[in-house]
Chains A and B, each alone.
Chain A
Amino acid sequence: MSDTAALLARLADDAQQDQQRALRRLREWAHAQAPAFRRAGRLRGLAALGTVGWAAGLGLAAKLALHGQRSGVTPVSVLPAVCLVAAGLALRAWLLTAGDRAADEAAAAVRHALRGRLLDAALPAWRQPASTTESQPGDAAYVQALDEEVDRLTDWLTGYVPARRTMLIASGIVLAAIASGSWLVALLLVLATPLLPANLKVIGMGTRTAVQAQLTAARTLSARLLDQLRGLPTLVGLGADERAALAVEQDDRELAHRTQAVLRVAFLSTAWVELLITGTLAVVATYCGLVLLDYLHLPGIPSTMGLGTALFALVLTPAYFAPVRELARGYHARAEASAAAELVHGLLDVTATGRATPRPADAPRSIHLSGVGVAFPQRDRPALDDVTLTAHPGRVLALTGPSGAGKSTLLAVAAGLLAPDSGSSTHQADGTRQPADPRAVSWIGQPCHLLPGTVRANLLLARPDADDAALDAAFATLGFADLRAALPDGLDTVVGERGSGLSSGQIQQLVFVRALLRDAPVLCLDEPTAHLDPDAEERVMAAVRTLARDRTVLLATHSPALLRIADTVVAVDRGRISTVTPYGVTS
Chain B
Amino acid sequence: MRALTLLWTSADRRARRDLLLGAQLAVAAEVAAAALLGVSGWFLTSCALVTLRANTTWSWMYPSGTVRALALGRTGLRYTERLTSHRALLGATVALRARMVRTAGALPPRQLRDRRDGALLARLTDDVAAVGAAPARTVAPLAGVGVTAVVVVALICVANPVAGAAEALLLALALAVALRTDRRAAAHRAEAADDRAAARSALLSARAVLPELRCLDAVDPAREQVARRVERARRADATSLAALRTGRLLLRLLAALGQVAVLLLALSGRSTLQPVADAIGEVLLVAAGYELVETLPQILHDHGTAAHSARRLIDLLTRARARLLPSGPAALPRLDTPLVVHDLPVGLGAARTRWSAVLPPGGATLVTGPNGSGKSTLLNLLAGRIDSPSVLLGGSPLYLLSAATVATVLTLVEADDWLADSTVADNLRQAAPAAPDEALHAALAAAALTDLELDAPTGPMGGTLSQGQRRRLSIARAVLRDPAVLLLDEPTAGLDRPTAVRLLSGVRAALPRCALVIALPDQHHDLLPFPVDATLQLGRPAVGAAGRTAYPGDQDAA
Residues of A whose CB lies within 8 Å of any CB of B are 54, 58, 61-62, 65-66, 69, 72-75, 78, 81-82, 85-86, 89-90, 92-94, 96-97, 100-101, 104-105, 108, 111-112, 115-116, 119-120, 122-126, 139-140, 142-143, 146-147, 206, 209-211, 214-215, 218-219, 221-246, 248-249, 252-253, 256, 259-260, 263-264, 267-268, 270-271, 274-275, 278-279, 281-282, 285-286, 288-290, 292-295, 307, 310-311, 314-315, 318, 359, 412, 415, 417, 438-439, 441-445, 449-453, 461-462, 464, 497-498, 500, 504, 511, 514, 518, 520, 524, 529-534, 536-537, 559
Q: Contacts A281-B71, A417-B214 given: A230-B418 contact, CB under 8 Å? A: yes
Nearest CB of chain A from residue B410's CB, rounded to whole Å? 8
Chain B residue with Cβ nearest A120: B223
Instruction: Write out the residue numbers on chain B whose beta carbons fall within 8 Å of the beta carbon of A559.
Output: 543
Identify 25 residue pairs between A and B in the complex whose beta-carbon atoms are under 8 Å apart, listed by A's number: A58-B284, A85-B259, A85-B260, A93-B255, A104-B241, A112-B231, A125-B220, A139-B204, A210-B90, A222-B125, A232-B105, A235-B105, A245-B101, A245-B102, A249-B101, A252-B98, A256-B91, A281-B67, A292-B44, A311-B41, A314-B40, A438-B214, A439-B214, A498-B201, A518-B216
- Taking a contact as CB atoms under 8 Å apart, the answer to whether B546 and A531 are in contact is yes
Chain A residue with Cβ nearest B32: A278
Give which listed residue, B105, B117, B546, contacts A241 with CB less than 8 A: B105
Give which listed residue, B63, B83, B90, B217, contacts A267 with CB less than 8 A: B83
- Taking a contact as CB atoms under 8 Å apart, the answer to whether B417 and A234 are in contact is yes
Nearest CB of chain B from residue A105's CB, rounded to whole Å? 8
Q: Contacts A146-B200, A292-B51, A445-B211 given: A271-B75 contact, CB under 8 Å? A: yes
Give which listed residue, B67, B82, B201, B218, contacts A210 with CB less than 8 A: B82
Chain B residue with Cβ nearest A125: B219
Q: Contacts A238-B411, A445-B211 given: A245-B105 contact, CB under 8 Å? A: yes
Say yes or no for B334: interface residue by CB 8 A criterion. no
Give which listed residue, B201, B207, B264, B403, contacts A122 with CB less than 8 A: B207
- Taking a contact as CB atoms under 8 Å apart, the answer to whether A285 and B43 are in contact is yes
- Taking a contact as CB atoms under 8 Å apart, the answer to whether A97 and B217 are in contact is no
Q: Say whether chain A's binding surface is mostly helix, strand, loop, or mixed.
A: helix
- Taking a contact as CB atoms under 8 Å apart, the answer to whether A227 and B113 are in contact is no
Instruction: Write out the residue numbers on chain B whose beta carbons fall within 8 Å of the beta carbon of A119.
Output: 203, 223, 226-227, 230
**How far, in angstroms, from A464 to B217 measured CA to CA in the complex?**
11
**How far, in angstroms, from A292 to B51 measured CA to CA in the complex?**
7
Give which listed residue, A65, A69, A231, A239, contacts B408 with CB less than 8 A: A239
Give which listed residue, B63, B64, B238, B411, contacts A108 with CB less than 8 A: B238
Nearest CB of chain A from residue B58's CB, rounded to whole Å? 9
Nearest CB of chain B from residue A457's CB, rounded to whole Å? 9
Give which listed residue, B75, B201, B267, contacts A73 with CB less than 8 A: B267
- Taking a contact as CB atoms under 8 Å apart, the answer to whether A278 and B215 are in contact is no
**How far, in angstroms, from A401 to B194 measured CA to CA in the complex?**
45
Q: B239-253: which have CB < 8 Å to A? A: 241-242, 245-246, 248-249, 252-253
Further pairs besides A230-B116, A278-B74: 7, Cβ < 8 Å: A58-B280, A94-B249, A108-B237, A236-B105, A241-B105, A307-B44, A449-B208
Say yes or no for B309: interface residue by CB 8 A criterion. no
Instruction: Write out the residue numbers on chain A whose beta carbons fall within 8 Å of the beta carbon of B441.
Output: none
Q: Contacts A69-B52, A209-B136, A285-B44 given: A278-B407 contact, CB under 8 Å? A: no
Nearest CB of chain A from residue B449's CB, rounded to whole Å? 18
- In this complex, which of A74, A211, A264 has the most chain B Cβ atoms within 10 angstroms of its Cβ? A211
Say yes or no for B314: interface residue by CB 8 A criterion. no
- Taking a contact as CB atoms under 8 Å apart, the answer to whether B211 and A417 are in contact is yes
Query: Which of B1-9, B170-178, B271-279, B529-537 contacts its partner?
Result: B271-279
Instruction: Write out the residue numbers on chain B whose beta carbons fall within 8 Å of the beta carbon of A263.
Output: 82-83, 86
**How far, in angstroms, from A581 to B312 measured CA to CA in the complex?**
59
- Taking a contact as CB atoms under 8 Å apart, the answer to whether B215 and A78 are in contact is no
Instruction: Write out the residue numbers on chain B whose beta carbons fall within 8 Å of the beta carbon of A438.
Output: 211, 214-215
**How far, in angstroms, from A218 to B75 measured CA to CA in the complex?**
29
Instruction: Write out the residue numbers on chain B whose beta carbons fall within 8 Å of the beta carbon of A285.
Output: 40, 43-44, 64, 67
**How far, in angstroms, from A139 to B203 measured CA to CA in the complex?**
8
Nearest CB of chain B from residue A167's CB, rounded to whole Å? 18
